[in-house]
Amino acid sequence: MNLFNIFSEIEKSDAEATERFQFSRRKLLKTSAIAAVATPALFAATVNKAFADSATVVEVLNFALTLEYLEAEFYEKGNMAPGLIPESDKMVFEKIGMHEKEHVDFLKTALGDQAVAKPAFDFTAGGAFPDPFMNYQVFLTLSQAFEDTGVRAYKGQAPRLKDDKPFLLAALKIHSVEARHAAEVRLIRGQRVWASEMETGGVPAAVYAGENNIYQKEGIDLISLTYKDMYLSNGTNQQATEMIVREAFDEPLTKEQVLAIAGPFIKS
Partner 1 sequence: MEKINSLTEKKAGPTVPAIPSVERRMFLRNMGLFSASTLALLTACSRDEIVAPTGTIRSGARDASVLADGTVDLGSGDIGIANLAYTLDQLEVAFYTMAVEKAMGVSAEDKRVLQELHDHEIVHKEFFKAFLGSAAIPMLDFDFSAVNFNERNAVFDAAQKFEDVGVGAFNGTGPLIDNDDVLKIAGKMVSIEARHATLARHMIQPKSYFALGHELIDANGLDWALTPEEVVAKAQPFIKQKISVANLPKM
C-alpha–C-alpha distance, residues 196 and 200, integer Å: 6
Contact pick of 60, 103, 201, 261 for partner 1 (by CB under 8 A): 103
Q: What is the DSSP letter of 1?
A: -
What binding mask, one character per residue, do residues 200-239 give for partner 1 by CB under 8 A, x or -?
A: ----------------xxxxx-x--xx--xx--xx-x---
Q: Which residues in the 130-159 window bind partner 1 by CB under 8 A?
A: 151, 155, 158-159
Contact pick of 15, 34, 55, 117 for partner 1 (by CB under 8 A): 34
Contact pick of 12, 55, 83, 88 for partner 1 (by CB under 8 A): 88
Which residues is 266 bridged to in the sheet?
A: 121
The Cβ-side half-sphere exposure at 260, using a 13 Å CA radius, reads 11
Q: Which residues in the 48-87 window bind partner 1 by CB under 8 A?
A: none
What are all long-range contacts of 204-213, with beta carbons under 8 Å and residues at least 24 apart? 204/145, 204/261, 206/257, 206/260, 206/261, 207/145, 207/148, 207/149, 207/152, 207/261, 208/148, 209/253, 209/257, 210/251, 210/253, 211/246, 211/250, 211/251, 212/246, 213/246, 213/249, 213/251
Q: Which burial class, exposed, middle or buried, applies to 267 when counting CB atoms under 10 A from its CB (0-12, 13-18, 19+)?
A: exposed
The Cβ-side half-sphere exposure at 80, using a 13 Å CA radius, reads 7
Q: Minimal distance in Å, beta carbon 176 to partner 1?
A: 4
Contact pick of 50, 140, 153, 174 for partner 1 (by CB under 8 A): 174
Contact pick of 80, 98, 128, 198 for partner 1 (by CB under 8 A): 98
Contact pick of 198, 238, 248, 254 for partner 1 (by CB under 8 A): 248
**DSSP SS3 for 121:** strand
- Is 35 a binder of partner 1 (CB under 8 A)? yes
- Is 169 a binder of partner 1 (CB under 8 A)? yes
**Which of 129/186 has CB closer to partner 1?**
186
Residues touching partner 1, count (CB under 8 A)? 72
Amino acid, single-letter form, for residue 119: P
**Which of 73/184 has CB closer to partner 1?**
184
Contact pick of 89, 122, 197, 199 for partner 1 (by CB under 8 A): 89
Q: Minimal distance in Å, beta carbon 264 to partner 1?
A: 24
C-alpha–C-alpha distance, residues 266 and 119, integer Å: 7
**Which of 129/141 has CB closer to partner 1?**
141
Contact pick of 142, 175, 208, 257 for partner 1 (by CB under 8 A): 175
**Which of 80/225 has CB closer to partner 1?**
225
Amino acid, single-letter form, for residue 200: T
What binding mask, one character per residue, do residues 249-268 give for partner 1 by CB under 8 A, x or -?
A: xxxx----------------
With a CB cutoff of 8 Å and minimum separation 6, the contacts of 180 are none
C-alpha–C-alpha distance, residues 24 and 244, integer Å: 47
- Is 183 a binder of partner 1 (CB under 8 A)? yes
